[in-house]
Chains A and B, each alone.
Chain A
Amino acid sequence: MSYQRVKFYQTGTFTVGNRLLDESDRTVQAGMDRTNSLDSGHRACQGCGEALGARYALDAVMRATHRQMVAVNATGCLEVFSSPYPESAWQIPWLHSLFGNAPAVASGVAAALRAKGKTDIRVIAQGGDGATVDIGFGCLSGMFERNDDVLYVCYDNEAYMNTGVQRSGSTPPRAWTNTTQAVGTDPGNPMGVGKNLPRIAMAHGIPYVATASVADLHDLEAKVTKSMAIRGARYIHIHVPCPLGWKSDPAHTIKVARLAVESGLFPLFEAEGGHVTDRTRIRNKVPVERYLELQGRFNHLLHPRDESALGAIQAMADANINLYQLLSSEA
């Protein structure tokens, strides 16, 4: 983890706020003056993880840049639910173009600002996993390769939710989607497919790559803040449960995200210049089943039990724990 946790026990070590800390040292989300970049009245589903993740990330950027920023949004849920004509839920300068070109548009915005000498205004590009991992991937790779001064934030809900839950390159193995039905001998999304975009971003050797989760706000804000102190191409991949597509209880959005972290399926780490530099330790390790059982998209693995699939998914979690040393106390 990229910051020192302060022991405050119930008064706020892991909670959003902490009445014992000075206002300026609290999380952005605890502040009465937070931007609320994505305002009330947006049309995201009940318990939307992406709406939450976007506000967490953008409010932190707003604080880090002293409100000098512009966001470029790819097509996807986040764009659709926030800006049905003529309404907008955005309280920040915000731009939408196409599904596949958000990184390229952001590169252009950054170039324009540089040309105008306004380098204090920072550029954020954001999209869902579909726009990032699949459709806009070429533009994103180019943005990384040119090391354009853009922070790209991917809100990963592991499928195309806005269009009705179709599989993406980020859909996990064995998950149900409308295009990977739970039928046949290997129901759900096949094993061994998909992309690990944080690792791909690292392979570009860009200055900063991190993963984050809506389940750990302190960690997420620390990473966003840190990324804004760096110039060049940066990438943050945020895990955001989708109650609709994951068939989970809207009230469980954060719980599900937390179990993804605590099981090791979604490792929280940071990388600089292509090398892993830090990771957030698992506090209470849980078996992957605890994560899977809260989501209807994995029902077919548990009723009846599919031991080989469960074993394979547990092996993925264990490999992450091993690779990122998620349990050990030394980095």
Chain B
Amino acid sequence: MEQKPFAITLNPASSLANHTGNWRTMRPIYVDHLPPCNQACPAGENIQGWLYEAEEGKYEQAWRKIMEDNPFPAIHGRVCYHPCETACNRGQLDEAVSIHAVERFLGDYAIEQGWQMEPGVATGKRVLVVGAGPSGLSAAYHLARLGHAVTIYEAGPKPGGMMRFGIPQYRLPRNILDAEIARIVAMGVAIQLNQKVENLETAIKEGGFDAVFLAIGAHLSKRVDIPGRDAGRMIDALGFLKGMDGEVAPKIGRRVAVYGGGNTAIDAARTAKRLGAEETILIYRRDREHMPAHDFEVEEALEEGVLTRWLNMIRQVDETTLTVEEMKLDEQGRPQPTGQFETLEADTVILAVGQEVDTGFLAQVPGLEISSDGVIQVDPSMMTGRSGVFAGGDMVPAERTVTVATGHGKKAARHIDAYLRGCDYVKSPPNAVATYDRLNTWYYTDADKSRQPYLDLARRRASFEEVVGGLDKDTALLEARRCLSCGNCFECDTCYGVCPDNAIIKLGPGQRYEVNYDYCKGCGLCAEECPCGAIDMVKEVR
């Protein structure tokens, strides 16, 4: 035994010999929770994930992360009604992150930079997609990425579906639409235009297809029974909007009445205004609160001088006038007649009262089920009653938006891929939702939302120039940095910093952290202070 000083019996030692981890009754664990934006996205985007990349200015990585789920960032950044922002936790702190504006920036930047996507390794399988709208194109894109050879039969003269024939140019410039479709075509997806499928079974047989995705949309305008409907000029909104893509703009009168309360009605009214109608009046049988159209679009229409008549029902249309009856809402919010009539001047009436699916070509398909309201029934894998034939978009029961359709395309593609490989596609169960109460918002700086520029009113009324402008590189970066990263570690080092026991091990950039359970006493400071709620305390089991 070595000689020690007087009264010293033990060698000096480190506190590391003292494993304080055995004090622990609760144990911190790192978790990934589902951010509410991701949960709300109909296209299933990992929004928090791509904002994380964008925050660092890694725009290409951010864009590629969007592209894993959605081939149309530039389009969605413009026309999606962003349920993600409604769900955004930041909305409870100050204002929701302007997710769509960042997405649009990334989409536009990708077009500018000419970024492309590569198809997957060829599987030798052939898939027919019927309809080149958002759903069909999305399915084709994802199928191509999975290595399948895709052919799209499109009945119309141009691809895009409702994105081209339903959404006006001032909301979605056609060069953007064309660029994002061209990228899919560049991956080897063949689009055959003016190719209406008359008989599906014949088309499958002749083309030698292994699977089919139906996405023809809902292009037939619904009709309403108005006496004297042949009088004056009555046109349907879809035909009117579709005509805008032709050589000659549709002819309308000086006083235009638009009948309906959905987004199509708003689009038609704003388009009529731009075509030079002196007066455009929106007639809807319920009130503004009950309009299916999105409020900001109603607001933009009002700004542009569109007039409105809520609680009016058109009863008769004559040469230059129409008769409306005033309505009142009953307790269920349904309009009831009051017997009060009024005559308005209008030389054109545009009907925007809903759309239906043209299911004629499916009549001969065995097993396919069409419900009474004209939509196609599909199972949870988007497959119809006919094996190998899937359907999505506006022709199946769902909300009819570009984003829902795009999401259907992705979902169907994954199931078609599984079908072609002879297995089932099983989606991993989603994580628990990262709710606002899990956040420690003290750590987030107050940061105002970045505003997108608006075209001035005079030009909005007279031209089809895009109304809402995009963010530039700098503002997009700041906006991305407003993301709270709900439920997902953003490597802020707070857990690593606040542990009084140095029991958090920092693993380095991109590697996150580990708990050193030899020393973690289970105080819970890391979980309490974690800004984004990515640490849970769970009961210690010994």
Chain A residues with CB under 8 Å of chain B are 7-20, 26-27, 29-30, 32, 36, 38-44, 46-49, 51-52, 55, 82, 85-89, 217, 243, 249-255, 258, 283-284
Within 8 A of A (CB), among B79-109: none
Q: Are A42 and B496 in contact (CB under 8 A)?
A: no
* Total B residues in contact with A, Cβ cutoff 8 Å: 55
Q: Are B20 and A43 in contact (CB under 8 A)?
A: yes
- Beyond the given pairs A7-B445, A10-B483, A30-B493, 17 more chain A to chain B contacts, judged by CB atoms under 8 angstroms and listed by A's residue number, are A11-B490, A14-B443, A14-B445, A16-B496, A17-B494, A17-B496, A17-B497, A19-B490, A27-B497, A30-B496, A43-B15, A52-B498, A55-B502, A243-B523, A253-B525, A254-B525, A255-B528
Partner of B15, one of A11, A89, A251, A284: A89
Residue of B nearest to A283 (CB): B442
Q: Bound complex: CA of A44 vs CA of B20, how far in Å?
A: 10
Q: Are B525 and A47 in contact (CB under 8 A)?
A: yes
Q: Are B524 and A250 in contact (CB under 8 A)?
A: yes
Chain B nearest CB from A46 CB (Å) reads: 4
Q: Are B20 and A32 in contact (CB under 8 A)?
A: no
Partner of A8, one of B481, B496, B502: B481
Q: Is B359 an interface residue (CB 8 A)?
A: no
Q: Bound complex: CA of A128 vs CA of B396, how far in Å?
A: 70
Q: Are A15 and B492 in contact (CB under 8 A)?
A: yes
Q: A8-B445, A255-B528 are in contact. Are A15 and B20 (CB under 8 A)?
A: no
- 10 cross-chain CB contacts under 8 A: A12-B492, A12-B493, A19-B509, A32-B508, A41-B15, A41-B17, A43-B20, A88-B14, A252-B528, A255-B528
Q: Bound complex: CA of A92 vs CA of B431, how far in Å?
A: 44
Q: Is B195 an interface residue (CB 8 A)?
A: no
Within 8 A of A (CB), among B494-521: 494, 496-503, 506, 508-509, 516, 518-519, 521
Residues of B near A17 (CB, < 8 A) are: 491-494, 496-497
Chain A nearest CB from B490 CB (Å) reads: 7
Chain B nearest CB from A67 CB (Å) reads: 17
Chain B nearest CB from A91 CB (Å) reads: 9
Residues of B near A16 (CB, < 8 A) are: 492-494, 496-498
Q: Are A10 and B484 in contact (CB under 8 A)?
A: yes
Residues of A near B483 (CB, < 8 A) are: 9-10
Residue of A nearest to B447 (CB): A9
Chain A nearest CB from B97 CB (Å) reads: 10
Q: Are B18 and A87 in contact (CB under 8 A)?
A: yes
Q: Bound complex: CA of A9 vs CA of B447, how far in Å?
A: 7
**Beta-carbon contacts of B165-186 to A below 8 Å, as 1s and 0s?**
0000000000000000000000
Residues of A near B508 (CB, < 8 A) are: 32
Q: Are A40 and B443 in contact (CB under 8 A)?
A: no
Q: Are A32 and B506 in contact (CB under 8 A)?
A: yes
Residue of B nearest to A23 (CB): B509
Chain B nearest CB from A194 CB (Å) reads: 26
Residue of A nearest to B491 (CB): A19
Q: Are A86 and B502 in contact (CB under 8 A)?
A: no
Q: Bound complex: CA of A233 vs CA of B444, how far in Å?
A: 36
Q: Are A254 and B528 in contact (CB under 8 A)?
A: yes
Q: Are B500 and A10 in contact (CB under 8 A)?
A: no
Q: A17-B497, A85-B10, A88-B15 are in contact. Are A10 and B481 (CB under 8 A)?
A: yes
Q: Are B524 and A39 in contact (CB under 8 A)?
A: no
Residue of A nearest to B24 (CB): A46
Q: Is B1 an interface residue (CB 8 A)?
A: no
Residues of B near A9 (CB, < 8 A) are: 444-445, 447, 478, 481-483
Q: Are B15 and A19 in contact (CB under 8 A)?
A: no
Q: Is B258 an interface residue (CB 8 A)?
A: no
Q: By DSSP majority rule, is chain A's interface helix, strand, loop, or mixed?
A: loop
Q: Are B444 and A14 in contact (CB under 8 A)?
A: yes
Q: Are B494 and A15 in contact (CB under 8 A)?
A: yes
Residues of B near A40 (CB, < 8 A) are: 15-16, 20, 501-503, 516, 518-519
Residue of A nearest to B510 (CB): A19
Residues of B near A249 (CB, < 8 A) are: 524
Q: Bound complex: CA of A284 vs CA of B525, how far in Å?
A: 21
Q: Bound complex: CA of A43 vs CA of B21, how far in Å?
A: 11
Q: Are A254 and B498 in contact (CB under 8 A)?
A: yes
- Residue from the set B478, B481, B500 with the largest chain A CB neighbour count within 10 Å: B500
Residues of B near A11 (CB, < 8 A) are: 55-56, 481, 490, 492
Residues of A near B492 (CB, < 8 A) are: 10-12, 15-19
Q: Are A41 and B10 in contact (CB under 8 A)?
A: no
Chain A nearest CB from B48 CB (Å) reads: 11
Q: Bound complex: CA of A283 vs CA of B447, how far in Å?
A: 13
Residues of A near B253 (CB, < 8 A) are: none
Q: Are B18 and A41 in contact (CB under 8 A)?
A: yes
Chain A nearest CB from B537 CB (Å) reads: 8
Residues of A near B527 (CB, < 8 A) are: 251
Q: A8-B481, A17-B492 are in contact. Are A87 and B528 (CB under 8 A)?
A: no
Residues of B near A12 (CB, < 8 A) are: 492-493
**Beta-carbon contacts of B1-45 to A below 8 Å, as 1s and 0s?**
000000000111111111110010000000000000000000000
Q: Bound complex: CA of A163 vs CA of B496, how far in Å?
A: 30
Residue of B nearest to A250 (CB): B523
Residues of A near B442 (CB, < 8 A) are: 14, 258, 283-284
Q: A8-B445, A14-B444, A251-B524 are in contact. Are A86 and B496 (CB under 8 A)?
A: no
Q: Are B14 and A251 in contact (CB under 8 A)?
A: no
Q: Bound complex: CA of A219 vs CA of B10, how far in Å?
A: 41
